[in-house]
């Protein structure tokens, strides 16, 4: 009994008290809170005090971090204003050639389309076997009439020698003179009839009315032609060509005869230079367009009936001229960036009058003495500080040449 009691009492002293575990937990929580507070104080001391002090960053060297942009001062250039249009090519003076005489059976065609011919050159021949016989008959009649005239003149001369001797009266001389005059008249009549027949025979040949280029041929050997056969050949006089440019009513009002023009046929990259030789005096009421006729020298690429585009000089204007790269656009319209006195980019709205190979002609928005960003303007923002670099003379835009 005593042994068991002692064991139990010893065990009671060895076991912890029931309240010991909660106290240790509370102590650990308190220690953790204190540590967190100390960490927060340390963080505030390390970072909070530094943020209160003004932050000073080293300034970069002047221009070291600023973008460089190329600028141009456009000034004002006298630039030819041009209008554009499209139209068809044609012969400047087209000559239709048909049958002039009586016509007949075509015996030969001596030229092809594309041939160059001289004035009066035979293009086609027509059978003249019957007409030739008529001409021979009239030629014989001329010879007969001349023989009669010679006989009449001989008899008159002989009678005049006998008048002084009294063998021939004055009345006989008058009759013989009249006979001689009538014979001479018959000679003239026969000659005129022969000349008329010969002229008709010559008109049987179809001839070129002037030198030029044969455009079309519509006759073949064996074909019977007459004055009602229509056009057999078409010839471009002198080979001269033209473009009939369709221009709007407003553009046509600024075009004058004699101004230079450039023509580019469809399918060709070459530029053919000419000048306006006629401006249409009327406007089509349906299309509100008129025609400017541009004279061109012959070239195989200029085929009548073909389509072409034209650029016609319509006077000159004085305005700033910029490279195309300087002009930007957005939903508000066209604009450029100029650099002010503080070397800051400033947006300037403009209106472009014309864009050509020489550059963009500015109608309004610039005076010409501004420093305009020549390129890379799309990467700038209004008010951005930059380092302007003046463009070299070779990169500036040259004035347009008329």
| Structure token digits, residue 56 | 């000073």
Segments making up each domain of the chain, as ranges: 68-76+320-395, 84-92+240-316, 94-217
Gap between the Cα atoms of 205 and 207, Å rounded: 6
Gap between the Cα atoms of 35 and 102, Å rounded: 131
pLDDT of residue 60: 46
Among residues 82, 79, 78, the alpha carbon closest in space to that of 260 is found at 82
CATH number for 68-76+320-395: choose from 3.40.50.300, 3.40.50.170, 2.60.40.10, 2.40.420.20.
2.40.420.20
* 170-204 vs 129-163: helix crossing angle, rounded to 10: 160
SS3 380: coil
DSSP 8-state secondary structure symbol assigned to residue 92: S
> CB of 296 within 8 A of CB of 243?
yes
pLDDT of residue 53: 45
Each residue's pLDDT, cut to its tens digit, for the chain (402 residues) gives 344 444 444 444 444 444 445 666 777 777 777 777 777 777 766 665 544 444 443 444 444 578 888 888 888 877 677 888 999 999 999 999 998 878 889 999 999 999 999 999 999 998 888 777 888 888 898 898 899 889 888 888 877 877 767 677 777 778 888 888 888 999 999 899 889 888 888 888 899 999 999 999 999 999 999 888 889 999 999 999 999 999 988 888 888 899 999 999 998 889 999 999 999 999 999 989 999 999 999 998 999 999 999 999 887 778 888 888 889 988 888 999 998 888 888 999 998 877 777 788 888 888 888 889 988 777 888 888 888 888 765 444 444 333
Among residues 22, 98, 85, the alpha carbon closest in space to that of 293 is found at 85
> CB of 261 within 8 A of CB of 313?
yes
Q: Which secondary-structure segment (H or E) carries 154?
A: helix 129-163
> CB of 214 within 8 A of CB of 113?
yes
Gap between the Cα atoms of 151 and 176, Å rounded: 10
pLDDT of residue 402: 37
Gap between the Cα atoms of 317 and 144, Å rounded: 81
Environment class of residue 237 by beta-carbon count within 10 Å: exposed (0-12), middle (13-18) or buried (19+)? middle
Residue with tokens 């957005």: 330
pLDDT of residue 5: 41
Distances (CA, A) of 242 to 18, 41, 236, 308: 121, 95, 11, 11
Q: Model pTM greater than 0.75? A: no
**What's the CATH fold of domain 84-92+240-316?**
Elongation Factor Tu (Ef-tu); domain 3 (2.40.30)
Strands (E), 98-149: 104-109, 116-117, 122-126
């Amino acid at each position: 009994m005593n042994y068991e009691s002692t064991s139990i009492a010893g065990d009671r002293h060895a076991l912890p008290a029931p309240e010991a575990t909660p106290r240790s937990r509370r102590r650990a929580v308190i220690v953790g809170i204190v540590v967190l507070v100390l960490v927060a104080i340390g963080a505030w001391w390390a970072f909070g005090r530094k943020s209160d002090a003004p932050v000073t960053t080293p300034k970069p060297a002047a221009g070291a971090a600023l973008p460089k942009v190329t600028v141009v001062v456009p000034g004002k250039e006298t630039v030819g204003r041009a209008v554009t249009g499209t139209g068809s090519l044609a012969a400047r003076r087209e000559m239709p050639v048909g049958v002039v005489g009586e016509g007949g059976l075509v015996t030969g065609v001596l030229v092809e389309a594309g041939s160059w011919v001289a004035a009066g050159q035979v293009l086609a021949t027509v059978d003249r076997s019957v007409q030739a016989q008529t001409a021979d008959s009239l030629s014989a009649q001329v010879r007969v009439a001349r023989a009669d005239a010679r006989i009449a003149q001989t008899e008159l001369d002989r009678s005049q020698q006998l008048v002084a001797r009294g063998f021939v009266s004055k009345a006989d001389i008058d009759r013989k003179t009249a006979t001689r005059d009538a014979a001479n008249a018959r000679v003239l009549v026969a000659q005129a009839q022969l000349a008329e027949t010969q002229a008709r025979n010559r008109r049987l040949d179809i001839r070129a009315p002037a030198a030029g280029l044969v455009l079309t041929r519509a006759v073949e050997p064996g074909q019977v032609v007459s004055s009602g056969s229509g056009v057999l050949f078409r010839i471009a006089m002198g080979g001269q060509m033209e473009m009939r440019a369709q221009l709007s009513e407003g553009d046509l009002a600024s075009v004058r005869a004699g101004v230079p023009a450039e023509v580019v046929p469809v399918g060709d990259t070459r530029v053919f230079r000419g000048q306006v030789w006629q401006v249409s005096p009327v406007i089509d009421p349906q299309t509100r367009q008129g025609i400017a006729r541009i004279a061109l020298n012959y070239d195989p690429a200029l085929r009548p009936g073909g389509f072409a585009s034209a650029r016609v000089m319509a006077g000159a204007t004085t305005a700033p001229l910029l490279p195309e790269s300087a002009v930007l656009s957005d939903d508000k319209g066209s604009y450029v960036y100029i650099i002010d006195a503080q070397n800051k980019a400033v947006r300037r709205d403009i209106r472009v009058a014309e864009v050509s190979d020489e550059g963009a002609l500015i109608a309004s928005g610039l005076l010409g003495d501004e420093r305009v960003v020549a390129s890379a303007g799309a990467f700038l923002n209004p008010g951005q500080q930059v380092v302007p670099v003046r463009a070299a003379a070779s990169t500036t835009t040259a004035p347009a040449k008329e």
